[in-house]
Copies of this chain bind each other. A is one copy, B any other.
């Protein structure tokens, strides 16, 4: 049995809580927040406490709070066990004030009020000693079939990649929605295309399935699209991304077979 205390009350805290609860080999002994009334979600399902209280003993303390307060909160924390954070961007060394430290980073985007199945979500772990790394491995395997050790430096690169495929992709959706709105087109028409665009690259390299006027070097369509975009920022993005795609595939054409 692994005993866990969760510190935090947001989407990651809630999703981890539900995943932990599903396992017979994990016991969530306590959830900790700034105030008890912030912990309503967990009420009567485990013991609740604030950061100022003396915390119950646990094998692992999981800090599921926003990146910018991890250093501050952890520096003021008294825990008697392994302390891990759940962030993709924060280095392990942020927890250096403590002895036994680690990272338990579920590589996924979480939404308020939506509990995801974590069984296929990669859990990226790190620790400052082998025993704790093994413990995190064991914990990860109880949740997911994809647990992988990733050091802070690599995790940083992984997080940048995540910004491209998640943050920037979502922003592409937003521009698509704006372009639709300007022409009174129902954005939901694009939903099957959006889903298939994501599915298409399961098991294949996105570089191999790129399509569109920029890839084809179709100047006429590129020009027509730019004329249609009224927003200067949208035109700038359209131009930079189209030129980048053109350059990528023109390079390929120039390469000898």
Contacts and interface: CB of A to CB of B under 8 A. Distances in A.
B198 A109 contact: no
A13 to B, nearest CB: 16
Contacts of A150: 185
Contacts of A172: 164-165, 168-169, 172
A179 interface: yes
Interface string A119-132: 01110100000000
A111 B191 CA distance: 17
A177 interface: yes
Interface in A217-257: 218, 220-221, 224-225, 228-229, 233, 236-238, 240-241, 244-245, 247-248
A75 interface: no
A70 interface: no
A112 to B, nearest CB: 9
Contacts of A201: 170, 173, 191, 194
Interface stretch (A35-43, A54-62, A135-143, A206-214): A206-214
B197 A179 contact: no
Question: Number of copies of this chain in the oligomer?
Answer: 2
A117 B88 CA distance: 37
Interface in A141-189: 146, 148, 150, 153-154, 156-177, 179-180, 182-189
A197 B241 contact: no
A200 interface: yes
Contacts of A166: 193-194, 197, 211-212
Interface residues of A, number: 90
B108 A193 contact: yes
B244 A193 contact: no
A176 B192 contact: no
A196 B114 CA distance: 11
B209 A111 contact: yes
A44 interface: no
A193 B170 contact: no
Given A158-B189, A194-B165, A229-B160, A171 B108 contact: no
Interface of A: 67-68, 89, 107-109, 111, 116, 120-122, 124, 146, 148, 150, 153-154, 156-177, 179-180, 182-203, 205-207, 209-215, 218, 220-221, 224-225, 228-229, 233, 236-238, 240-241, 244-245, 247-248
Which 3 A/B pairs are nearest by Cβ-Cβ distance? A167-B212, A173-B206, A157-B183
